[in-house]
Amino acid sequence: MTNLNVAFGVTGYGPLWAPPVESWIRAVAVASRLFTVTQVGKIGGAGITDRMYTHSAENILASNFLDDPDYTHLFMTEMDMMIPPDTIQRLVEMDVPVASGIYFLRGGTGQPCLFQKAFTSRGNPFPHTPVTIFPTDKPFRVDCPGLGCVLFKREVFERVKFPWFDLKESMYGSDMYFYTKCKDARVEVWANPAILCDQIAYTIDSVEHYQKRLREDPGFAKSGFIIGAGAPAGAIDRPVPEIPEIALGGAHGRQPASH
């Protein structure tokens, strides 16, 4: 891949914590160095929105990205996301329209921010079913991996009609609104389990909560969607597979949070 030019964007809708900002700077520095040395491209710019509704921030970042014809990719994260140092280049290497890392919802429940499109209910086209089991050894297709750690090719915003993100039409969040439009436009969405992110508020929610939930709550894996099974887990008359521990450390680079 040559002439790579990645824009780095953050949707800022609240206070900034030091650990996420440190992780963004580290990821930008690592990717910028690699792209420059290998002569494939660069991190062409960075921007952060300031205290606005998420869908407004996301639309602004995408619009500003498209305003510059030299940009090839938009990486988007959120103000509460802590990303691994090698995030950007790993997502670029996937070479798919939408490539996402994986993170876990706040509250210590261990629920991955991964969802599969559900059947339309009461005329609303946006509902999704939570994913509880997913491959841990290779990237996989998924309908909605959230917007906390995601890389878009330029073509995505050219194929999906504006507004790309919205809250008014969807009670389920701007991510489910956007990914429903991606599915309608036949835009492929992938998640990479090698990229595990932390989400921070006053506590950090991470993959450890997910693994703990799998070990201690037998009903958890039976209540949602299993990637690769093709149906909600409750509809499958077979044992839930054992899930291997996800390897931590190394490239993940998790560090203790400072408050």
The domain segmentation of the chain, as residue ranges, is 4-252
**N residues, the chain:** 259
Q: Between the CA of residue 89 and those of 14, 29, 69, 177, 198, what are the distances in Å?
A: 27, 11, 21, 27, 18
pLDDT for 95-112, tens place per residue? 999 999 999 998 888 999
pTM of the model as a whole: 0.84
Provide the pLDDT for residue 254: 41
H/E run at residue 230: none
| Second-level CATH architecture of 4-252 | Alpha-Beta Complex (3.90)
Q: Between the CA of residue 172 and those of 55, 118, 125, what are the distances in Å?
A: 12, 12, 10
Provide the pLDDT for residue 132: 95
Give the span between the Cα atoms of 186 and 198, in whole angstroms.
29
Provide the pLDDT for residue 250: 39
Backbone angles phi, psi at 101, to 5 degrees: -80, -175
Picking from 217, 193, 218, 196, the residue whose alpha carbon sits closest to that of residue 141 is 193
Backbone angles phi, psi at 227, to 5 degrees: -60, 130
Q: Between the CA of residue 247 and those of 101, 198, 208, 221, what are the distances in Å?
A: 15, 15, 11, 20
Instruction: For residue 256, give the amino acid letter.
Output: P
Kindly calculate the radius of gyration of the chain based on its CA atoms and give it in whole angstroms: 18
- The residues near 5 (Cβ < 8 Å, ≥ 6 apart) are 41, 42, 44, 70, 71, 72, 73
Provide the pLDDT for residue 120: 67
Instruction: Find out whether the peptide bond into 163 is cis, omega within 30 degrees of 0.
Output: yes
Provide the pLDDT for residue 51: 84
Tokens of 101: 């890392």
Give the span between the Cα atoms of 238 and 134, in whole angstroms.
16
H/E run at residue 3: none
Q: Which residues of the chain have pLDDT under 70?
A: 1-2, 120-121, 229-259
Q: Burial level of 179, CB count in 10 A (0-12/13-18/19+)?
A: buried
Give the span between the Cα atoms of 195 and 103, in whole angstroms.
9
Tokens of 241: 């597979």
